[in-house]
Amino acid sequence: MDSWSLLNLGDATLAMAGLERVEGLFGAAPGMDPEAAVFIRHESEGGLHCELKAYFSPGARAVAEAAGAEFCARPAPEGLSLLLGPESAWPALFPDRRGR
């Protein structure tokens, strides 16, 4: 169970409804793994606007599936912000990360 998931929430200026949906799903998920977390990052692939992407840790798999996220590789920690989950998710999920 080491697969991460990715959900592209689209244009960052219009992503509030998607974020609220993810937050609701996360809060309603029963018996989640203590390392369950959702991270977000603004990413631009050369376009005019950046997109907001949500990365679900392996422990948040049920939430990722409910949100319609797709499997992805573990994201690089640079530029990520913890949206949901405990602060202890940082060292647990990114043990090689230095500082913040």
**How many distinct structural domains can be found in the chain?**
1
Structural domain contains residue 98: no
At 18 the pLDDT is: 95
Structural domain contains residue 67: yes
Structural domain contains residue 99: no
Buried b / exposed e across 64-82, counting CB within 10 Å, b at 16+?
bebbebeeeeebebeebee
Residue 93 has pLDDT above 90, yes or no: yes
- Kindly state the tokens that stand for 2: 């080491």
Structural domain contains residue 30: yes
Select from 43, 17, 41, 38 the least CA-distant residue to 27.
38
Structural domain contains residue 100: no
At 32 the pLDDT is: 82
Structural domain contains residue 51: yes
Domain residues for the domain of 75 are: 4-93
Q: Tens digit of pLDDT for each residue in 14-71? A: 899 999 999 999 998 887 888 899 999 999 876 667 899 999 999 999 999 999 999 9
- Kindly state the tokens that stand for 11: 């244009």
